[in-house]
Amino acid sequence: MKVKVNKEKCIGCGSCVAIAPEIFELNEEGKSVVKKQPSKEEESKVKEAIELCPTKAIEIEE
Ligand code: SF4
């Protein structure tokens, strides 16, 4: 799984960071960025973050 955040859609709510702080962090603009691609074990957390993102800003690339 390769994940990315659509900066146009992200509103910086921080939900994904709360769910998966290993993967997501808020940048200086208050937008979520991917700091590390998830390992196999981390994929379920990322899926949860995707489901709970209010603007559907988190996308799977492949
Ligand atoms: Fe942005 Fe969605 Fe993460 Fe909220 S949950 S910070 S809107 S990517």
What's the distance, CA 54 to chain centroid? Answer: 11
Separation of CA 21 and ligand 1 centre (Å): 12
String of DSSP letters for 1-51 = --EEE-TTT-----HHHHH-TTTEEE-TTS-EEESSPPPGGGHHHHHHHHH
pTM metric for this prediction: 0.95
Q: Which residues line ligand 1 (CB under 6 A)?
A: 5, 10-16, 32, 53-55, 57-58
Ligand 1: nearest atom to the Cα of 11: 7
Contacts of 43 (CB under 8 A, 6+ apart): 1
Which stretches of the chain score pLDDT less than 70?
none
pLDDT digits (tens, 9 = 90+) for 43-60: 999 999 999 999 999 999
* Most ligand 1 atoms within 8 A of CB, residue of 8, 15, 19, 29 to mutate: 15
